[in-house]
Amino acid sequence: MMSTPSVRRISECFVKPHRPIQESNQICQLTPWDMILLSHHYIQKGLLYKKPSTLGDQHDFIENLLNKLKTSLSHTLSLFYPLSGRLVTHKTQDPPSYALFVDCNNSDGARFIHATLDMTVSDILSPIDVPPIVHSFFDHHKAVNHDGHTMPLLSIQVTELVDGVFVGCSMNHTVGDGTSYWNFFSTWSHIFQAQSLGHEHDVPISHPPIHDRWFPNDCGRSVNLPYKHHDEFISNFETPLVRERIFHFSAESIAKLKAKANSESNSTKISSFQSLSALVWRSITRARSMPYDGRTSCKMAINNRARMEPRMAEEYFGNLVQVVGAETTARELLENDLGWAAWQLHVAVANHNEKVVMQSLKGWLERPFIPQFGKLYDPYSVLMGCSPRFNMYGNEFGMGKGIAVRSGYANKFDGKVSSYPGQEGGGSIDLELCLLPHVMTALESDKDFMTAVSVPINLMEK
C-alpha cells in the first residue's frame, strides 16, 4: 500500500519590516475585542495557484518567487508592523494587574517557510472532501493566540506542488480579525505586483491600515484581566473528527434562495447571505436528526465597524467582530419555511447596532473574562464565519488569479461554516462545511440543500 506524500520543509527564515518601526509605534495595546480571542486559534487562510504554463526552469521559478515574496512581505510589514512583534504580559502584585500588549519591535519578525509536496493541484481539488494534507499547508498547527508570546504573530508558508503553489498565512487573531487579515493579504499582493513592475521603493497604498486601537471612552488604554496565570484561561481545543467539504452556490442559485425567502416572509429586506445561511441552518438541523424539542442556533460573525456611529473605517487594524444569531427549537425551525428562518437571522442582524455593541462591551469590562474556544458552541449550533465580501481572489503573486481558497486546522468544529467568494465572482459563494461524518453523509442526501448546490467551474482547466 502506497504511503500518502507529506509536506517537507525546505527552509525557513524570518522577515522584518523594511523600515525601522517608529518609537511611538513600538507598543501596540490590545483592546477587549482583541483579548477575548486569546484562547482561540490563529487565523489560517490561503490561496492555491497554478504554476505558469510557460514555465522554464522550475528551480529558477521558485527561487525568484520566494525572493519576491520575502521582499514584498518586508515592505508590507512596514505598514502592518504589529505582525512582526510578539505578545507580552505585564503583571504587578500591588495593585494586582494582568495586562497584555504587542511588542512590535523586540522580536525576530514574521516567519517565512518554503515547503514542497509531491502532489498535484488535481490531488487537492478533485476529492469530494478537502484532503487532510491541506492542514499541513499552514504553520502554527493547533497553536492558540496566547502562544504569540513565544511564536511569531505571522507565519507565511509557501508550499510548492508539482504543478502549483499554495500561499498559506497564519495570523494571530488577537492582532486582527478577518477584515484586517485580508487587508494585509491584499496589500502584500499589491506591493508584490508593483515591485514586479519595477517599483522598487515605497509603493503607494490606497487603503493603509489604521493602527490607533479603539478603546471606549471610559476604558482607558489598558485593560487588566482578573488572572494570576494564563493557565486559568488558556486551554487547547482538539477539533473532533469532522469531514470538510466545499459546496459551491452560483449567483443564480443564491438569487433564487433570496427571492424564495423574501416571498415566504412577505419581505424585501432579507439579504442573499441571510437566505443562504437559513438554508444551511435548516439543512444541517435535519441532517443531525436532533430531538424536536431540542434547541438549535445559527450564529453569524458580524463586522462591528459598520455598526458604530460614525461608521469606523474598514482599514481599522484590529478586532471589531462579534457573533449574532437566532435560536429556536428544531421543531419550530423545520416546521416553518425558509423565509421564516431567514427572517429570524435578518432581525438579529438588523437589531445589532452601536447601542448593543457598547452594552456588550460594558458588561465585559465590568467582569472581564477570556472565553475558551471549546466551550463556546453546543452540538446543535451552526456558526457562519469568514465572509464572501472579502477580496480573496484579487490577490495575485505573479501566477495569475488563484484557483481556490483553503483553510487550516484552526477554529474548526462540528457545525462550523466558512464562506468565501466563488472563484468566478459575480456574487457566487463557496461554503466550507465541517460536520461529523454521519451528519455530512445525511446532508449529502438532503434534497433541498443539494438542489441549491451548483456544479463548480472546472478550476483545473482555467
What is the edge-to-edge ordering of all strands in the sheet holding 154-160? 8-15, 110-116, 154-160, 164-171, 43-50, 404-407
What pLDDT score does 218 carry? Answer: 61
Look up residue 78 and give its amino acid.
S
225 phi, psi to nearest 5 deg: -90, 145
**Mean pLDDT score across all residues of the chain:** 93
Beta strands in 60-106 (DSSP E): 86-93, 96-103
Question: Rounded to an integer, what distance in angstroms lies between the CA atom of residue 179 and that of residue 379?
Answer: 28
Question: Rounded to an integer, what distance in angstroms lies between the CA atom of residue 76 and that of residue 68?
Answer: 12
Fold designation for 243-461: Chloramphenicol Acetyltransferase (3.30.559)
What pLDDT score does 196 carry? Answer: 85
All CATH 3.30.559.10 domain ranges in the chain, comma separated: 8-232, 243-461
Residue 184: name the closest of 8, 317, 93, 61 by CA.
317
Low-confidence stretches of the chain (pLDDT < 50) are: 460-462
Answer for the pair 242, 435: CB distance below 8 angstroms, yes or no: yes
Question: Rounded to an integer, what distance in angstroms lies between the CA atom of residue 118 and that of residue 398?
Answer: 22
The predicted-structure confidence for 200-253, as pLDDT tens digits, reads as follows 667 888 889 999 998 877 666 678 888 888 888 888 777 789 999 999 999 999
Look up residue 400 and give its amino acid.
G
Rg for the chain, CA atoms, rounded: 22
Residue 451: name the closest of 290, 272, 223, 250 by CA.
250
What pLDDT score does 460 carry? Answer: 45
Residue 154: name the closest of 99, 208, 87, 205 by CA.
87
Q: How many helices (H) and strands (E) does the chain have?
A: 11, 15
Question: Rounded to an integer, what distance in angstroms lies between the CA atom of residue 277 and that of residue 271?
Answer: 10
What is the pTM (predicted TM-score) of this model?
Answer: 0.95
Angle 178-196/58-79 helices, nearest 10 degrees? 120
| The three three-digit cell numbers of residue 98, written as one number | 494582568
What pLDDT score does 2 carry? Answer: 60
Q: Is 214 exposed, middle or buried (0-12, 13-18, 19+ CB in 10 A)?
A: middle
196 phi, psi to nearest 5 deg: -65, -25
Question: Rounded to an integer, what distance in angstroms lies between the CA atom of residue 396 and that of residue 50?
Answer: 11
Question: Rounded to an integer, what distance in angstroms lies between the CA atom of residue 232 and that of residue 363?
Answer: 20
Answer for the pair 89, 146: CB distance below 8 angstroms, yes or no: no
Residue 220 backbone zone (phi > 0: left; psi -120 to 50: alpha; other: beta):
left
What pLDDT score does 457 carry? Answer: 64
User: 343-349 — which CB contacts under 8 Å span 24+ positions?
Assistant: 343/261, 343/265, 343/267, 343/270, 344/278, 344/298, 345/274, 345/277, 345/278, 345/281, 345/298, 345/300, 346/267, 346/269, 346/270, 346/271, 346/274, 348/300, 348/324, 349/271, 349/274, 349/300, 349/302, 349/324
Class at the top of the CATH hierarchy for domain 8-232: alpha beta
Please tell me the chain's helix, strand, coil percentages from 3-state DSSP, rounded to the nearest 5.
35, 25, 40
What pLDDT score does 210 carry? Answer: 96
What is the edge-to-edge ordering of all strands in the sheet holding 86-93? 27-29, 96-103, 86-93
What pLDDT score does 4 carry? Answer: 80
